[in-house]
Amino acid sequence: MNEITSTQPMSNAKPEKPVKETPKELGKTKPDERVKNRSSFRQALIRPELGGICGTILVFLFFLLTASDSGMFSAAGVMNWSVVSSQFIIIAVGACLLMIAGEFDLSVGSMIGFSGMSIALLSVVFGLPMWVAIIATFILCMAIGALSGWLVIKTGLPSFIVTLAFLFILRGLTIFAAISTTNKTIVGGIKDAAEGDWLAPVFGGKVFTGLFQWMGDNGWIETFERGFKKGQPVVEGIPMLMVWAVILLVFAHWLLTKTKFGNWIFASGGNAQAATYVGVPVNRVKILMFMFTAFCACVFATSQVIEFGSAGADRGLLKEFEAIISVVIGGALLTGGYGSVIGAALGAIIFGVVQQGLFFAGVESSLFRVFLGAILLFAVILNTYIRRMITGEK
Amino acid sequence: MSEPIIEMKKIEKHFGSVIALSGVSLKVMAGECLCLLGDNGAGKSTFIKTMAGVHKPSVGEIYFEGKEMDFDCPRDAINAGIATVYQDLAMIPLMSVARNFFMGNEPTKKIAGISFFDHKLANEVTMREMKSMGIHLRSADQAIGTLSGGERQTVAIARAVHFGAKVLILDEPTSALGVRQTANVLATIDKVRKRGIAVVFITHNVRHALAVGDRFTVLNRGHTLGTAKRGEITSEELQNLMAGGATLATIEGSLAGTI
């Protein structure tokens, strides 16, 4: 009896032994027989930005063929669509990081209107110095961003619902504040209030004006031929809006791909439960990303307000969708955990170039939406295919 | 080997009026693989969750390396050196193997005062650790989604081992795997044990348990039915114990004549 029981497990364990050895052999021969060799070209293609890159090339080809003689690619034309693209980049960068962290913010557009109005009212109506108004607005907006993030986490509701509520709350508050203090929905006089302020030029100024003047003097770029601006270049310099777009783009790309925190953003969006289990502070990551999105909206609004010299209660309408579309064209996954800031920026460039390019090409502007919808569909289908290749689903 | 690395003494766990565990005691030595067997509802999951700091025991003591421990959250247990690989794996399919491997423990290097995620080091370490577990990756950049279930399980185990686990708890790692993948995971368990790490292997597959286990503890309805050493017990006996102990054995005995 005793002998039988002691030999039994041995005989039971024996058949397992050869099985245990096989995977080792399999492992060694695997690179040869089980894994297809991927060419480095194909390897380079499989990246989230591919849809965005293809879209950008297509869009530029299209406009080079149809609108090359319309001035779209002259200095003034380039500046025209670059500024619009930069606006989209600023909000897309924030939306991109937030979406990768697994959340949405539908209140971006209302936040733009709200923060613009906040700056205008604080500086023009309440007479605060412009820099105080700007800094106070930034703090207020980021606090609202943190509040919506906190609500999403505490209630466990989808961010879609929570930020949809903020879309209405902020827009309503903006109109209410404007009407009750000034009886108007557009508040002007910001140019005067910003006069001589040290912070306003950081958002509304232009850089490299000397360089552009020099290029104009040399006849490399267009200059005004008549009027009081005679001899000055049509494009005076690089607006700070574009500088902000580049700064935010570089910062967000660095944060996402090159830092520890970037890994946490991916992890929080990919699987919050798994991330929490290995010690990633998921809640903190998500709230910070809501605050960053609010920060981006605020940069957009401040630049716009200083540039236009007025704030309107209806500013930023539908901007949240434009930001989300840019991000999705750029290859990010709506459910989070996957995406690229560079892709989102390319999506924003596509958006800006198409919007302004159709005007240059003399196409009926209502076709803009058709074109945009087609690009969105094309990019998303391509991105889905790329993602399948990455995960090896197909 | 003489001192147990972790000892659970008369652990009881009550959920409201339900007594999930009623006095389970267990010792695990470094470098051994203890198999915890039991049918569904036997209390295996509750027991290992108590060990991993997810549940606090209602009654009973946990001694880790001779000291009494009181875990408030899973993080405490992980910091002490008790790592758990759950069935859902804690892996993110769209992220690269290296990013998953270092999730929550990212290596950084400082360039000009700014800290960067050290991708080069992360990739090197991941490749090395996976190689030592017998998995040859094409590159550490490939997404976890491209790996098979067994390989993902191995990444999770390798990750726990790399970050200094002294006790590795595996919650039914083979239950959802095919034959070859199971063999792969069992081979990994064997490698981990040989590094001097205590492995607690939860399963209800007797064959898998007998393949790698040094000792076998059977749980049934919140009680231990005893612990047997390798070679002291047959697969049939284990099977019977799991399926309800003596009751089934007698039924089988009475059926044996008729069938």
**pLDDT of the residue at A16:** 38
Cβ neighbours of residue A216 closer than 8 Å, sequence gap 6 or more: A222, A223, A231, A232, A233, A234
pLDDT-above-90 percentage for chain A:
44
Domains: count for chain B: 2
Task: Verify that B125 and B181 share a domain, yes or no.
Answer: no
Task: Verify that B104 and B131 share a domain, yes or no.
Answer: yes
Q: How confident is the model at residue A28 (pLDDT cuts 50, 70, 90)?
A: very low
B104 touching A (Cβ < 8 Å): yes
Task: Verify that B130 and B217 share a domain, yes or no.
Answer: no
For A263, the closest of B99, B187, B234 (CB atoms) is B99
B76 touching A (Cβ < 8 Å): no
DSSP H helical ranges for chain A? 2-13, 16-33, 40-45, 50-67, 75-100, 108-120, 130-155, 159-182, 190-193, 200-204, 209-217, 240-258, 260-270, 272-277, 282-308, 319-329, 341-360, 367-391
Of these ranges, A255-269, B46-60, B194-208, B214-228, the one predicted with the greatest mean pLDDT is: A255-269
- For residue B50, tell me if it sits in a domain: yes
Task: Verify that B176 and B159 share a domain, yes or no.
Answer: yes
**pLDDT of the residue at A2:** 42
For chains A and B, CB pairs below 8 A equal 133
Q: Cβ–Cβ of A20/B105 closer than 8 Å?
A: no
A14 touching B (Cβ < 8 Å): no
Tell me the pLDDT tens digit for each residue of B89-108: 668 888 888 988 888 888 88
- For residue B77, tell me if it sits in a domain: yes
Q: Is the pLDDT of residue A138 over 50?
A: yes
Task: Verify that B88 and B102 share a domain, yes or no.
Answer: no
Task: Verify that B181 and B237 share a domain, yes or no.
Answer: yes
A42 touching B (Cβ < 8 Å): no
Q: How confident is the model at residue A20 (pLDDT cuts 50, 70, 90)?
A: very low
**pLDDT of the residue at A11:** 39
For B231, the closest of A6, A27, A262 (CB atoms) is A6
Task: Verify that B242 and B231 share a domain, yes or no.
Answer: yes
**pLDDT of the residue at A373:** 84
For A23, the closest of B93, B99, B184 (CB atoms) is B184
**pLDDT of the residue at A40:** 64
What kind of fold does domain A49-389 have according to CATH? ABC transporter involved in vitamin B12 uptake, BtuC (1.10.3470)
Cβ neighbours of residue A58 closer than 8 Å, sequence gap 6 or more: A375
Task: Verify that B159 and B198 share a domain, yes or no.
Answer: yes
Phi/psi of residue B62, nearest 5 degrees: -120, 125
B200 burial level (CB within 10 Å; 0-12, 13-18, 19+): buried
Task: Verify that B198 and B236 share a domain, yes or no.
Answer: yes
**pLDDT of the residue at A292:** 97
**pLDDT of the residue at A347:** 92
Q: How confident is the model at residue B254 (pLDDT cuts 50, 70, 90)?
A: low
Last residue of a domain, one of B81, B116, B142: B142
- According to DSSP, the β-strands at B33-38 and B67-69 are unpaired
- Averaged pLDDT score across all residues of chain B: 81
Q: Is the pLDDT of residue A60 over 70?
A: yes
**pLDDT of the residue at A55:** 84
- Averaged pLDDT score across all residues of chain A: 84
**Structural domain boundaries, residue B135:** 95-142
Question: How far apart (Å, rounded) are the C-alpha atoms in residues A185 and A313?
Answer: 5
Task: Verify that B230 and B102 share a domain, yes or no.
Answer: no
A266 touching B (Cβ < 8 Å): yes
- For residue B166, tell me if it sits in a domain: yes
Question: How far apart (Å, rounded) are the C-alpha atoms in residues A9 and B238?
Answer: 11
CB half-sphere exposure, B32, CA atoms < 13 A: 18
B115 touching A (Cβ < 8 Å): yes
SS3 B4: strand
For B143, the closest of A26, A267, A390 (CB atoms) is A390
**DSSP letter at B96?**
B
Q: Is the pLDDT of residue A375 over 50?
A: yes
B63 touching A (Cβ < 8 Å): no
Q: Is the pLDDT of residue A377 over 70?
A: yes
A35 touching B (Cβ < 8 Å): yes
Question: How far apart (Å, rounded) are the C-alpha atoms in residues B142 and B160?
Answer: 20
B95 touching A (Cβ < 8 Å): yes
B-chain CB neighbours of A263 within 8 Å are: 99, 102-103, 106, 117
**Å from B209 to nearest chain A CA?**
10
* CATH (domain of B86): 3.40.50.300
**pLDDT of the residue at A46:** 67
- Higher-scoring residue by pLDDT: A19, B93: B93
Which range (A281-285, B19-23, B32-36, B90-94) has the least confidence? B90-94
- Higher-scoring residue by pLDDT: B35, B38: B35
Q: Cβ–Cβ of A23/B92 closer than 8 Å?
A: no
User: How many CB atoms are closer than 10 A to CB A336?
Assistant: 23
Q: Cβ–Cβ of B211/A271 closer than 8 Å?
A: no
Report the pLDDT averaged over residues A114-143.
94
Task: Verify that B108 and B77 share a domain, yes or no.
Answer: no
Task: Verify that B200 and B122 share a domain, yes or no.
Answer: no
Closest residue of chain A to B137, computed from CA coordinates = A31
CB half-sphere exposure, B12, CA atoms < 13 A: 10
Q: How confident is the model at residue B31 (pLDDT cuts 50, 70, 90)?
A: confident
Domain ranges of chain A: 49-389
**Å from B8 to nearest chain A CA?**
23
Tell me the pLDDT tens digit for each residue of A214-230: 888 887 777 777 777 77
